[in-house]
Amino acid sequence: MDRPTASSSQDGADSKRRKSLWGGLFRKNEKASIEEEEYIKEMKRRMKLREKSEKAERTRSFSEVPSDKFKTMSNSVGDTNPQQKNYSFYAERIEDLPVDILESLERMRLPRSIVEANFELVLNIVSFADKHVPRRRFVTHAQMDVVRANRKICESNVTDRILLSPDQAYERYSFVDARALYKWDVYLGHGGFGQVVEAKCKDKKDPTYGKRVALKFQNNSDLRGRRMNLEEVSLLKFCDHPNIVKLHRVLEVRSEVWMVMELMRGGNLRQASSSKVTPFREKEIAFVAREALLGIQYLHQQQIVHRDLKDLNMMMSLDGEVKLIDFGLAVDMSNGPRVQMVGSPQWMSPEMIRGEPHWFPVDIWSFMVCVLELANQKPREKANVKRAMFLTATVGIPKKFEEPEKWTHSFKEFAEWGAIIYQEKRPTATKLLEHSFIQSACDIDQIKKRLHKVFMEKAVEKNFA
């Protein structure tokens, strides 16, 4: 029998190495293929649930539906996509405006003399609510000088004292590995921010293992999205307060950011203020107001302004917790006031609509609009968003209560004080917390009973709709 030569042994070893390399490459390709297939399935699943959810929203007014159309020119700093670009046009008089904007002014039902007397204000409003693609901004030469002066300040909402690097903010995972950590089974909602689902943590190394969490998917594929996501994550990791939603961890998965947050069992202030549920008593409204103010007070002490406080961003749990959520438009004010129009029209403060430098009082205004919504069981005027914004900027909220006889003098005084049209006269969160209305708040057991009743009624309504 012939003995194997050194050459044949070498050939055998080379053959094994080749098989090993080809096998590794095959496994790698197979893993990539599985990753792609699973990702596509996930996207289809989310899209299907989003379409199903949107069917219920199509009967709601345009102003009620969370929209990604409400963005300012300053929010687009850093965009490289020409389709996303906003264009500015000079307009010094009504005749300089295009036909569609003139028609929009007609629908605002304002006399020409009023429009002319408040022309820069009207330009702010029609520019903010413009639905034209690409977006347009109409300004006078004087307004453009202000925009240019403030553009650099508006590039980032967070200063270096808070801003994290991507390595500090995110944990990077493949889609298959990330999905193995969280199993989601309930679609909670969506908006311009992304999509939110309810999930169960399956990561044994995570402190939330076995618990239910809220999982928020946000697009992270373009420069602007990456900047805004990093700023929001940095702010949430910086904040630590019982009245602010807790961020557990953040995963960077393909072209998305997955924000793992505490799950609030209950609902938001919009659901609680619905005309279809039992109305809140005054002492219960005082409880909600106090808890929200504690969160606002903490933010302001940290030099942070939320800038998008509204009914959808105030969550209430069955355990009586009230927490502020969605910090996508929050800003670090340590460098001073800002000049931007951001947020949601019905809750936007007069000074922001007027294009004036704004800071902490904008949150107090938005908070008070939410409190009045809870009392009146309906949001402010929503038939014409532009008209509502004009009235806010010029006269504030003249009629605060639909049925003023129902409420005590203390509550009415509290509402008048917090909704002062001039920001320099508006009280701070700390001052409002000292008011007699806040001191009259019910105990937590009563609010738990109320919230159980409210959200049970909402669940029954949903199931039998």
Residue 464's identity, in one-letter code, is: F
Q: Which residue stretches of 190-259 are H helix?
A: 223-238
Nearest of 368, 247, 231 to residue 304 by alpha carbon: 231
Q: Token pair for residue 437?
A: 């209305």
What are the tokens at 408? 């005590």
Cβ(213)–Cβ(203) below 8 Å: no
Q: How many CB atoms lie within 10 A of CB 276?
A: 9
| Amino acid residing at 175 | F
Sequence-distant (6+) residues with CB within 8 A of 266 are 315, 316, 317, 318, 319, 321, 451, 455
133 sits in which H/E element = none
CA distances from 331 to 112, 157, 323 (A): 36, 5, 18
- State the pairing for strand pair 266-268/314-317: antiparallel
Tokens of 143: 């307004």
Helices and strands counted in the chain (H then E): 17, 13
216 a known binding residue? yes
Looking at 11, 68, 222, 308, which residue is catalytic? 308
Q: Say if residues 369 and 350 touch (Cβ distance below 8 Å).
A: no
363 is catalytic: no
Tokens of 400: 């605060």
Backbone phi, then psi, for 432, in 5-degree steps? -65, -35
Q: Which two tokens stand for residue 100?
A: 């569609």
- Please tell me what DSSP assigns to residue 4: P
Residue 396 to residue 398: CA distance in whole angstroms: 6
Cβ-count burial of 140 within 10 angstroms (0-12 exposed, 13-18 middle, 19+ buried)?
middle
Phi, psi of 372 (to 5 degrees): -65, -35
- The Cα–Cα gap between 222 and 234 comes to 18
Q: Are strands 212-219 and 194-201 parallel, antiparallel or unpaired?
A: antiparallel
Strand order in the sheet with 212-219: 171-173, 247-253, 256-262, 212-219, 194-201, 182-191
Residue of 448, 117, 159 lying closest to 330 (CA atoms): 159
Residue ranges at the known binding site? 216
Residue ranges at the known binding site for ATP? 216
**Catalytic residue IDs:** 308
